[in-house]
Amino acid sequence: VTAAPPAPPAAPDGPAELGGVQAWLRRAGEPVHLELACAEHPDPAAGPAGRTVVRLTACAATVAVHELVELLAAGAAVTLRLDGCGAPAEVRAHLAGATTVLAAAGVAGLRLEDTPPAAPEGLRLPGRRRRRPVLDAAHMPVSRRRLLGLGAAAAPDVGGLTAHERLVAALHALGVGQPGGSDGGPPGAAAPDLTAGPPAGSSGTAAPSLAALPGPAPRLRARGCTACGVCVRACPTGALGVRDGGGLTTLLQDPAACDGCRRCLDLCPESALSVDGAWPWDRVLAGDPAPVATLTTTTCARCGTLFPTSSGERLCPVCTFRRRSPFGSALPRVGADRVG
């Protein structure tokens, strides 16, 4: 008699976390084929052997894309099971950008499966189904060596990095955008080959190049920039910077650090910034800051501030105003109707 599978746990409202899975993978020390199932999957235990089945803490549509790519960078092959997912279309839409970039870079190891994986034929009792152990992503097992503090791989330092920066770092670890790394293989580890179908996000046609794929960073342009530096100070990821030298001041944008929040456009006091499309993924991964605007500048003889100039002024606009109006504003007109 085949026992009915246990009822799946209720999916929480929060996102599916993969931090515990990443830590477990570092301790494994060998290539692993991970099969990730949504929290609402009715029976992830059924399927072929050779895969490590992990039930997520929520739907796969809430998985952080950078954490999924970090699993690939750690040498794992990843299969996302959508046959028991409550929102498979949302999962595909959520991962569409990442899967397209991985396909363009030739990175293998990620699959989305819409049908239940078939167990291989073998010796088994009639009426019995092959059952596999299912790990909980929130409570991954710990070996005795780990409990004793032995054989633990060092965790990557991601403190202070944004989700976009972690995604770029994971793609770099896969060799994407690095010299000699176009094959997408992680250094020192090869992800197991998967034969469950075409790569995730592929449609049987040739994948576009990274140069043809728009990334998340908008391509900034500036007209009427005054080099005030408000955008540089307002950028939460440090994607904007200023380079001075030779009488020129250049506003720079780093596509690898820009996550597209567009706060700089909202806070520019001169409304000088605009968007001209998006930086392609090859420029995002290259990590080379691009010039947005270049101004001829000089140092104010009074306050020492750099300011743009075109006719040899010695004072910045603020100091010029203060010299012309020592009290900071025009005095009110005194008339016969003055009170007091």
| Residues β-bridged to residue 242 | 251
Do 96 and 228 reside in the same domain of the chain? no
Average pLDDT value for the chain: 79
Rounded-to-10 torsion of CA 171, 177, 181, 182 = 100
Phi, psi angle pair for 99, to nearest 5°: -65, -35
Of 13-17, 33-37, 131-135, highest mean pLDDT: 33-37
- Tell whether 122 is covered by a domain: yes
What is the tens place of the pLDDT at every residue in 275-325? 999 999 999 998 889 999 999 888 889 888 888 887 778 888 888 888 888
Its pTM stands at 0.74
* The pLDDT value given to residue 151: 58
- Tell whether 8 is covered by a domain: no
Do 172 and 246 reside in the same domain of the chain? no
What number of residues does the chain have? 340
Do 61 and 140 reside in the same domain of the chain? yes
* The pLDDT value given to residue 6: 52
Would you say residue 166 has pLDDT above 50?
A: yes
Do 78 and 202 reside in the same domain of the chain? yes
Question: Domain residues for 280?
Answer: 218-324
Do 189 and 258 reside in the same domain of the chain? no
Higher pLDDT, 198 or 229: 229
* The pLDDT value given to residue 194: 35
- Tell whether 7 is covered by a domain: no
Do 70 and 201 reside in the same domain of the chain? yes
- Please identify, among 173, 208, 243, the residue that sits at the C-terminal boundary of a domain: 208
Do 145 and 41 reside in the same domain of the chain? yes
Question: Distance between CA 142 and CA 28 in Å, rounded?
Answer: 10
- Based on the number of CB atoms within 10 Å of its own CB, is 159 exposed (0-12), middle (13-18) or buried (19 or more)? exposed
- Please identify, among 181, 208, 235, the residue that sits at the C-terminal boundary of a domain: 208
Do 197 and 66 reside in the same domain of the chain? yes
Do 265 and 318 reside in the same domain of the chain? yes
* The pLDDT value given to residue 117: 67
Q: Is 132 helix (H, G, I), strand (E, B) or coil?
A: coil
- Please identify, among 208, 231, 254, the residue that sits at the C-terminal boundary of a domain: 208
- Tell whether 213 is covered by a domain: no
Do 200 and 235 reside in the same domain of the chain? no
* The pLDDT value given to residue 148: 65
Q: Say how many C-beta atoms besides its own lie within 10 A of residue 195's C-beta.
A: 6
Per-residue confidence band for 266, with pLDDT thresholds at 50, 70 and 90: very high
Amino acid at 10: A
